[in-house]
Amino acid sequence: MKNKILRGVIIIQEPTEKSKDRLKNYLDLAGVILVVLNREGNITLLNKKGYEILYYEEGELIGKNWFDVCIPEEDRKELKNVFKALINGDVEPFEYYNNPIITKRGDIRMISWHNALLYDDDGNIIATLSSGEDVTDLKETEEKLRESQEHLLNLFNSIPIGIHMYHLFEDGRLVFIGANPAADEILKVDNMQFIGKTIEEAFPPLVKSEIPERYREAAAEGKDWKTKRFDYEHEKIKGAFEVHAFQISPMYMVATFTDIYDRIKTEEELRNTIKMLEKKVE
């Protein structure tokens, strides 16, 4: 069998039985599914990995229609139309294409495909050659990660505690990178205005405090820091805050805070009331 590579496609003469066996031996070494479909979509070649993933005995699928046997019913019509367009030369082969397959046991596996067209010496398309990687576990992991990220985002947006996020750069700049809605409500400002600014630029009164240093230690060294009360007043922001700073990943940290001004005021009023009652008793 004489094969030639021309302009990214394979030109192939009609293979002999001997050349088919030789090609199959090569294909069986691959760690991905390799399948050849003729113009009718029938399987003319399937490697060992393909049979393993599909749970069929070797040779069992030769001559069977790939779409009728290996594609879930709900996707069959669409993929047949795509294949027909490919084999007729109406569209170029997709560089990457994901679609599910169904195994003999009824399991659904997600496969990432690379496709090529096989031509004869006269330039006629005679078959397709596809290599497929089973990405089912990867897709499931990505889906779980996406769901986890959504849960975290929902928590981030709904938690009633203010959150400020910072990134510590190698040059020592601690840069504000985000805040949650509660931070806007507590501080009564739009925290988006601080994004991209250093902590000293965003909150000038902090320069004279220990907070910038403590935040940097949290980001760089993972040291937690808490204060039960920090008074802050600058422009529209005024209040007394309980603050907790901690690392979320190397060089990244968050500061959570709650406004305790009303609590402090209530405590002071309570103390004054007690003092007044004590005087009356005396």
SS (H, E, C) 221-266: HCCCEEEEEEEEEECCEEEEEEEEEEEEECCEEEEEEEECHHHHHH
Query: Is residue 74 scored above 90 in pLDDT?
Result: yes
**What average pLDDT does range 255-271 have in this prediction?**
77
pLDDT above 70 covers a percentage of the chain that reads 85
Q: Which CATH superfamily is domain 3-140 in?
A: PAS domain (3.30.450.20)
The rounded mean pLDDT for the chain is: 85
204 contacts 253 by C-beta, under 8 angstroms: no
Structure confidence at residue 161 (pLDDT): 92
Q: Which of 84, 55, 47, 85 is nearest to 67 (CA)?
A: 84
Query: Is residue 84 scored above 60 in pLDDT?
Result: yes
Number of helices (H) and strands (E), helices first, in the chain?
9, 12
CATH of domain 159-266: 3.30.450.20
* Dihedral angle sign, alpha carbons of residues 4, 15, 20, 2: negative
Structure confidence at residue 261 (pLDDT): 74
* Dihedral angle sign, alpha carbons of residues 37, 43, 48, 50: positive
Question: pTM for the full model?
Answer: 0.51
**Domain residue spans of the chain:** 3-140, 159-266
What confidence tier does 152 reach under pLDDT thresholds 50, 70, 90?
confident
**What average pLDDT does range 252-265 have in this prediction?**
85
Query: Is residue 145 scored above 70 in pLDDT?
Result: yes
Q: Do domains 3-140 and 159-266 have the same CATH topology?
A: yes
